[in-house]
A and B are shown apart, each in its own frame.
Chain A
């Protein structure tokens, strides 16, 4: 004779069978507990039927379209390409080639018997100041690269 919760909601939704409606009417008159339960469900159902539709903010669509356009843009990662290490290597190579060529006496040039005087250049190379200058320049370049590639990324992290 009992009516289940599901059946009560069928009654409230208006989809109950005739037989169920008759049982419900009978129980409403006879069973006080059922009466209370039904009233409780009916009150909640009535409140829910008036559940209002919430309104979005006025600029909702504009914000959404802006976001959508941003999401569609391809992500451009601008990473400046540094060729500093290449310059450093090139300078080092040039220096090594120059030093080797000058210290070996330029045999290929001598075989052609062209009177070339490298003594001034050799003297310059053998000057202590120039060597020191070169060493300092290379050291500075090395420190600069080390700072850019290692220290800056580390401290930024």
Chain B
């Protein structure tokens, strides 16, 4: 009879403890685990892949530097996504990029990814990104955090640094603005794009 080996996913906290104990491989593990999400949040806020990569890398470096001060009682993702959010905001403020340029580059990226099967999905992605580019970074963050990993309102509130009630109001406003933007972009086509 073979013994049953139960492989559990190592928690963020235990990876951090490894790092603090001197295990350098832990940095790689932590980065691999959270890179896509950090990159996506950054991408939604800054608008281009190149800048998003720079922001995500910068956020990781900041997080690694601050790891000794991290309170292990709190959730790593909440703490880290706050760093990503702030880094992306700072970047956005520093580099005010022409929205039209972003739209053009993203349309090109989406168009190149189009296949006959994935046409609709690529179209949806393209229009959502175009609409998001017209929203404020705060609105984009609220929407991204809520939909991408389905963070709770309490977690979103902690990441953005506001109360849960305010987060709910802000999320509602952000979704409303996005719906208006989608309507402006697509008119009556909005419904047909989805269904």
Contact = CB atoms under 8 A, between A and B. Distances in A.
Interface string B51-93: 0110011001100110000000000000000000000000000
Nearest to B37: A53
B179 A44 contact: yes
Contact of B143 (A41, A48, A65, A68): A48
B27 A60 contact: no
B36 to A, nearest CB: 5
A41 B179 contact: yes
Interface string A38-62: 0111011111111111111100110
A33 interface: no
A34 interface: no
B43 A54 contact: yes
A55 B99 CA distance: 22
Contacts of A51: 128, 144, 147-148
Nearest to B172: A6
Most buried by A among B143, B171, B175: B175
Interface in B1-56: 27-28, 31-32, 35-37, 39-40, 43, 49, 52-53, 56
B193 interface: yes
A21 B171 CA distance: 21
B176 interface: yes
Contacts of A64: 31, 35, 57, 60-61
A9 B172 contact: yes
A63 interface: yes
